[in-house]
Copies of this chain bind each other. A is one copy, B any other.
Amino acid sequence: MIHRLLSLAAAALLLGAPARAETLAPREAPAKSLPVPGTVSPQMQAIIAQPLRMNWDKPPTTPEGWKQLSDSIATTVAPQIPAMAERMRVKIEPSTIDGVRVFTITPGEIPPQNRNRLAVHVHGGCYVLNPREAALPEAIFMAGFAHMKVIAVDYRMPPEAYYPAALDDAMTVYKAAIKMTDPKNVAVFGSSAGGALTLEMMLRAKRDGLPMPGAIAPGTPMSDVTKQGDSFQTNAQVDNVLVSADGFCDAATRFYANGHDFKDPMLSPVYGDVRGFPPTILTTGTRDLLLSNTVRMHRALRQAGTEATLQVFEGQSHAQFYRDDRIPEVKEAFDEIALFFDRNLGK
């Protein structure tokens, strides 16, 4: 087989007839001991060095079990919010908008170009986790780093309500937001399930004839929950957050979907018609289980002619780009998103 001796370009040229994927041989990759890379900050090294998420393969199996897990997370996060808000110099006010629970996060100082701008945040957590204050860290970081007012949607989640309640609540807030200011001045953002919801909101807005916002920032979106995507395999047990396509996040999504077809673009937006989407910035990491979800979404948007840009961070697993505002790479990621918003939003 001379072609395997050949160089990068050379091997190109002996392309045989395409075969079906299922008849093609898999790659047998050996077990590996992956050192923590020295190419990231010491703070990010500590995050990368964390062991696999405990109980990643033992998700709750009852509604009560999910509720308990969700509450225990919220209870742990809540006391950390005041110090975070102080570091980021933002004020947090809970309220409701047309019956939907929200937090409004207002930076201490808002520069002139951001005074008529507004960002709507939809949190992550596999559609089931991060209620109440646990929804807030990413929203606080955006308000703090981008110096923009943010409305964070504390959408209903199972067992309180199932698909499409989260999306319904997000749309209620979006509709209110585009009355508060020009839609071109509105950004929508969120990561993981929040990244998917951001994309699903655009599909829903198109369907309902609503105007698009000025820009969106879906971080490492769960854009394909059907387990398609190469990094579900390559980064399995490399990503210390999601760990595996067959882990807790899949179980949580199933709990939310409540029997709804996973391939519906309202759960897997990579299969949606994304023409007409606003300028989009996507963020992921090289160890992210959703690296493929993110880059496939980026390609789908580019193919549809959307102004879409991609940032990929060295060594990071799922959603670690918003792990802690004191990590240099976190500031870097948010500064980049803030710049993208500034360039693309109206004033």
Chain A contact residues, CB within 8 Å of chain B? 1-13, 15-21, 24-39, 41-43, 45-55, 69, 72-73, 76-77, 80, 84, 123-126, 129-130, 134, 136-138, 191-192, 228-231, 233-238, 240-241, 286-287, 291-292, 295-296, 298-299, 302-303, 309-315, 318-319, 322-324, 326-327, 332, 336
Contacts and interface: CB of A to CB of B under 8 A. Distances in A.
Nearest to A229: B39
A88 to B, nearest CB: 13
A186 to B, nearest CB: 23
A291 B136 CA distance: 32
Contacts of A292: 37, 39, 286, 314-315
A10 B130 contact: yes
A29 B324 contact: no
A312 B312 contact: yes
Contacts of A80: 13
Contacts of A42: 18-21
14 contacts: A4-B53, A5-B73, A6-B73, A8-B241, A10-B134, A18-B41, A19-B46, A27-B48, A32-B234, A32-B236, A35-B233, A39-B230, A286-B295, A299-B313
A228 B17 CA distance: 37
Contact of A34 (B41, B50, B130, B233): B233
Given A4-B54, A76-B10, A77-B10, A33 B37 contact: no
Contacts of A137: 9-10, 12-13
Contacts of A15: 43, 46-47, 323-324, 326-327
B34 A26 contact: yes
A181 to B, nearest CB: 27
A27 B286 CA distance: 14
A9 B138 contact: yes
Given A8-B322, A9-B123, A28-B32, 7 more contacts: A13-B77, A24-B48, A26-B33, A229-B314, A234-B238, A296-B314, A310-B310
A46 B24 contact: yes
